[in-house]
Structure 1
C-alpha cells in the first residue's frame, strides 16, 4: 500500500515521536487525543497534520491506527473505534505488555480488521507531547508480536512504516515477549522506583543523602522518573512475569545479604564479577 493514511491515538511521548518520524517520511498523520491542549502542541510541533478529540472521526479513513495510550485504556478505546474502522484497516499498539492486549483486542475487532501487536524498546523519563523526539526510535529495537491468524501483508506494512523511523524491527512470539520484557524492562523499573523510595526510609537524612547523590545514583534511578500511570498499568497487565522476576531478585539479594553478614568476600566478589561480565556481553551485542 502506497502512502497509507495513519491515525495515532494518544499524542504523548511515544505517539508524538512516532508522528514526527512518520511525517518526516512523507506520510499523512491524524492525531486523536482527549486533551485538546496536547493536540494543539502536536499540530504546532508537526507531529500530526490534523487533530481531533473525536475517536470515530479520527479513525474513519485510516489505513493504520497506532494505539499509544496507557495499556489499560487500550481495550476501551478499541471498543469505541471498532464500529468505525474500515474493512482492511490495521490496528497496532505500542504497549509494553502484549498477552493482555492481544487477547482483548482480537475479541473486539470486526471481521476484516487486522491487529499487529507492537512494542518499541524506546522511551524517556519525561512524558507528554512536549518531550516528543523525531529520533526516539532510531537504532532502537521495535518488537512485533503478530498472532498466527494475522496476514503477513499486515505485518509487512506496519513493519515498513516503523523502519522509516530508523528503528530495528524484530518479530517475537507473543508467549515469550512478556516474560522477556519483564526481566529486561519491567522489573528494572520496579527496582529503580524501589531504590528511590528507599531514601524515604531514612527520615531526617535528606540533606546528607542529597550531598552524596552523584552520577551513579542518577544513572541507576533515571527510569524511576517515568510516567506512573503507564507503569502501574504495565505491572497489572503482566503480573505473573513481573512478580516472578521480583521474587527471583529477592532470593538473589538474600544470598548477597547472607554473604555480607558472614564476611564472605569471595561470594560478594563473585556476585559483582558475574554482573559485570553479563552486562558487558549484553552491551557488546547491542
Structure 2
C-alpha cells in the first residue's frame, strides 16, 4: 500500500531543506504543498520567493500540523530538541525523516521522543556544496546522488516506502544501510575529508609569508579545500555525534601522514614514490568502479 503524500513540512530552509522544497515543487507542482519552517524570517522570505515552499512560518508547531511527512533539515545537535517541541503536534500516521549526516546518534535521540502512531525513517542525502543557506539551494542538488535510508527492521514498511517515493521526486539514487555501517563509511569518505580540507586552510596561518602563499594558491589548492567553506555549525555537530568513527579514521590518516613525513625527512625516495603510486592506482580504480557502482544498489551489509 502506498501512502498519498500531499503535505510536506520542511524544518530548516537552508541548502538541504531549500533544495528539497525546490525539487518537490519542480516534480509535483500543485500536487504537493510544501510548508517551509525556519527561525530566520529572511530565509523564509527567500524560500517563498524562490518557490521552495508554498507556505512559510517561524512557528514549528503550527507548521507541522496536518503534515503527512516532515523533514528535519537542521544541524544534528538541534534536531532532537526540535522533534521534542513538535512531537505533540504531529498527526497520527505522520512520517518523520531527517537529513542528518550521523544516523546512530539521531536514531537514539529521536526515537525516544516520538509518540505511538508517528513513524520515523532516518535518512541522509550524500549531496551538498560548499555554500550554505537558501541562496545556494538547487532543485537538482540530489539528482543522481546517493540518498541513504537507515530504517531498522522494526520500522513501518509502508512509511519507508513513502519516504522512498518522496525522495524519488528529487532524482536521487536511493539505498538502505545499517545505521552503524553508514556512520563508519561516511566518517571515512565525507567527515574526514572535510576536516582535512579545513586543516589545509588553517595551515596557512603557520606560513611565514601568508600573503604570498595565498596569492600563489592555484587551482589545486582551491579545489582540494573547496569544502572547507561549508557550514561550521553543521560540521561541529557532525564531529560531536560521530566521534568514534571520525577519530578512528583521523588516527589512520595521521599514521599515513606521519609515515610520508618520515620518509621525506630521511630522503627515502622509494617510499615517497610508492606513497603517490599507490594513491594514483587506487584512485584510478575507484574512477573505473564508479561506472559499475552507479548501476547497482548498495548491499545492506546485514
TM-score by length of 1: 0.97
| Distance in 1 separating the partners of 2:202 and 2:214 | 14
Task: Name the SS of the counterpart of 2:225 in structure 1.
Answer: helix
CA contact (8 A) 1:56 1:81 kept: yes
The Cα shift of 1:92 comes to: 0.4
Number of aligned positions between the proteins: 285
1:184 aligns with 2:189: yes
Deviation sequence 1:188-239 (CA, Å, 0-9, x none): 1001000000000124x12220232101001100000000000000000001
1:213 aligns with 2:237: no
Aligned to 1:124: 129
Aligned to 2:254: 250
1:47 aligns with 2:52: yes
| Distance in 2 separating the partners of 1:137 and 1:67 | 16
CA contact (8 A) 2:197 2:227 kept: yes
| Distance in 1 separating the partners of 2:58 and 2:235 | 25
Question: Among residues 164, 167, 179, which one is paired with 1:174 in the alignment?
Answer: 179
Task: Name the SS of the counterpart of 2:130 in structure 1.
Answer: coil
Alignment of structure 1 residues 66-81 onto 2, 5 Å: 66-81=71-86
| Distance in 1 separating the partners of 2:150 and 2:5 | 23
| Distance in 2 separating the partners of 1:184 and 1:161 | 26
| Distance in 1 separating the partners of 2:73 and 2:142 | 14
Alignment of structure 1 residues 10-89 onto 2, 5 Å: 10-26=12-28, 27-89=32-94
The Cα shift of 1:8 comes to: 0.3
Deviation sequence 1:238-260 (CA, Å, 0-9, x none): 01111111111111111111111
The Cα shift of 1:267 comes to: 1.1
CA contact (8 A) 1:99 1:174 kept: yes
TM-score by length of 2: 0.92
Q: State the Cα RMSD in Å.
A: 1.0
1:5 aligns with 2:7: yes
Gaps of 5+ in 2: 291-302
Task: Name the SS of the counterpart of 1:30 in structure 2.
Answer: strand
CA contact (8 A) 2:5 2:162 kept: no
Moved over 6 A (4+): none
